[in-house]
Amino acid sequence: MKDWLPDLSRSNSPRYMAIADLIEMDLRSGHLAIGDRLPPQRELAKHLDIDFTTVARGYAEAQKRGLVDSHVGRGTFVTGGADKERRSFGSDAVLDPRRTSAIDLSMNMPPEPTDPELITRMREGISAVASNLIPLLRYQGFGGSSMDKEAAAAWLSRRGLVPSQERIFVTPGAHPALLAICGLLAKPSETILSERITYPGIRSIAAQLRLNLSGLPMDADGILPDAFAEACERVKPKGIYLNPTLQNPLTLTIPERRREEICAVARKYHVPIIEDDAYGFIPLHAPPPLAAMAPDLTWHIGGLAKCIGAGLRLAYVVAPDTKAIWPFVSAMRTNNVMASPLNMALATRWIEDGTADAILRFIRQEAAARQELVAAILQPGSYCGDPISFNIWLPLTNGWTRSTFGSHMRAAGIGVVASDAFTVEGQALEAVRVCLGGPVDREKLRVSLEFMGHALESSPELAASFF
């Protein structure tokens, strides 16, 4: 029903709420029926002479209530979800909040596979692993079996790494590995260096271990080597943490020349490098990892969360030398005992039969498509992003602060993360991280980005008046 034109005067609610209210009222009265197609948001905004963001928020509110659903390339359709819920449980029933559909753009996850053939292939791998289930329910030695380490070595070789098996460990995710490594390198009150704007997890780990995390100044190519050297002279750091490829949250990739300069400083001052290579597998032609340039100094962490799936809770860790092996094993055993044998077996199966590569190809293609969506909606130069990254970094202008923008997005059911979470040194910038992956489909992402774009074109005061 493309000609549905709600009379907003029929509701005393704010205009965006009125749109959702009227969808529900017209569904009850029979003026709307399940399956009806609602007008495109821009078209409805034009007919009602209201701002696009008001309509976008109204449709989002209706979707939260289960009244409508959106489909890429097709539009928004009445589903009657809320009405069905009330018919089942009585007119006074309240929707379970677990059924709401807030759009969470705060978690930096890869796009989830939607290709039926790929999903079938993934399920076949799970079935194959389950055929040998009982041994996988037993305790096993830490670090993975020989078979798991062979798969890890094959996977890491895609990044140009060829470590011996004795230096490879399968761990229950990158975060526990970072916790163990930082605890080995530094004692309370000692210093670990990082980027000035960095992954929030390392900030939490440093706080838990009571370490001093010191952020280094950066340019578009990453940390400044001269600032790194000066910090080595001044604070005598026990290590440096870097996320060198598609860095979270800025999406920058340190070029090969800068990596060589960083390794040279680390070698001069004997500073261990903690390389969080979470996104290293995403680009087709990423620079070589730091562990390939300074293998004797670098703890390399190749997590599978971003290139296959976070639910596996696995990461491949390469120790810098044999002396580091036993302290690391001891620390990991104390905290985690072992990685899940079931998860290790599944990852090994997927690597060996090519499913992991198929997942990675899907993630690359979908991430690129979502970045193209961003480029089509947001103003050029208004954000930082890589053509294949899972997020953008959005500096705020036109009077917006990270607080007001975050509140405005939350009011529309859209989650973003303010720059405070990533800032190690100095005043946090007026900026937010906007993630593009996870379970959010392209249509919902498009609606969210258009809502953001229109908000940023206005002042906070004017944008608030749209509601």
Q: Reduced to 3 states, what is the DSSP secondary structure of residue 300?
A: strand
Q: Quick one: DSSP state of residue 454?
A: H
Contact indicator for 65, 20 with CB cutoff of 8 Å: yes
CB atoms within 10 A of CB 275: 26
Give the tokens for residue 133.
Answer: 């289930």
Contact indicator for 163, 298 with CB cutoff of 8 Å: no
Residue 198, φ and ψ in degrees, nearest 5: -145, 180
Domains of the chain: 8-86 (1.10.10.10), 116-356 (3.40.640.10), 363-464 (3.90.1150.10)
pLDDT of residue 84: 42
Give the tokens for residue 58.
Answer: 């109204």
Residue entry with tokens 């340039």: 293
State the Cα–Cα distance between residues 168 and 204, nearest whole angstrom.
Answer: 25
CB atoms within 10 A of CB 446: 17
pLDDT of residue 97: 38
Instruction: Give helix 341-353 / helix 146-157 axis angle, nearest 10°.
Output: 50
State the Cα–Cα distance between residues 457 and 437, nearest whole angstrom.
Answer: 24
Amino acid at 47: H
In tens, the pLDDT along 351-397 reads: 999 999 999 999 999 999 999 999 999 999 999 999 999 999 999 99
User: How would you write the pLDDT of the chain (467 residues) with one tens digit per residue?
Assistant: 557 888 888 777 788 888 988 888 888 777 888 888 899 888 888 888 888 888 888 888 888 788 888 765 678 888 865 444 333 333 333 334 333 456 889 999 999 999 999 999 999 999 999 999 999 999 988 899 999 999 999 999 999 999 999 999 999 999 999 999 999 999 999 999 999 999 999 999 999 999 999 999 999 999 999 999 999 999 999 999 999 999 999 999 999 999 999 999 999 999 999 999 999 999 999 999 999 999 999 999 999 999 999 999 999 999 999 999 999 999 999 989 999 999 999 999 999 999 999 999 999 999 999 999 999 999 999 999 999 999 999 999 999 999 999 999 988 889 999 999 999 999 999 999 999 999 999 988 999 999 999 899 888 877 665 55
Residue entry with tokens 């230096």: 167
Amino acid at 263: C
Closest to 292 in 3D by CA, of 268, 259, 316, 322: 259
- In 354-422, which residue ranges form alpha helices assigned H by DSSP? 355-377, 402-411
Q: What secondary structure does DSSP assign to 387-401, as a single string? A: TT-SEEEEE--TT--
Give the tokens for residue 192.
Answer: 């670990």
Beta strand 273-276 with 298-303 is parallel
Give the tokens for residue 374.
Answer: 């961003």
Residue 156, φ and ψ in degrees, nearest 5: -65, -25
Long-range contacts of 354-359 (CB under 8 A, 24+ apart): 355/118, 355/121, 355/122, 355/125, 356/155, 356/307, 356/308, 358/118, 358/121, 359/113, 359/118, 359/122, 359/307, 359/308, 359/309
For residue 190, how far is the Cα from the chain centroid? 30
Give the tokens for residue 227.
Answer: 């600032």
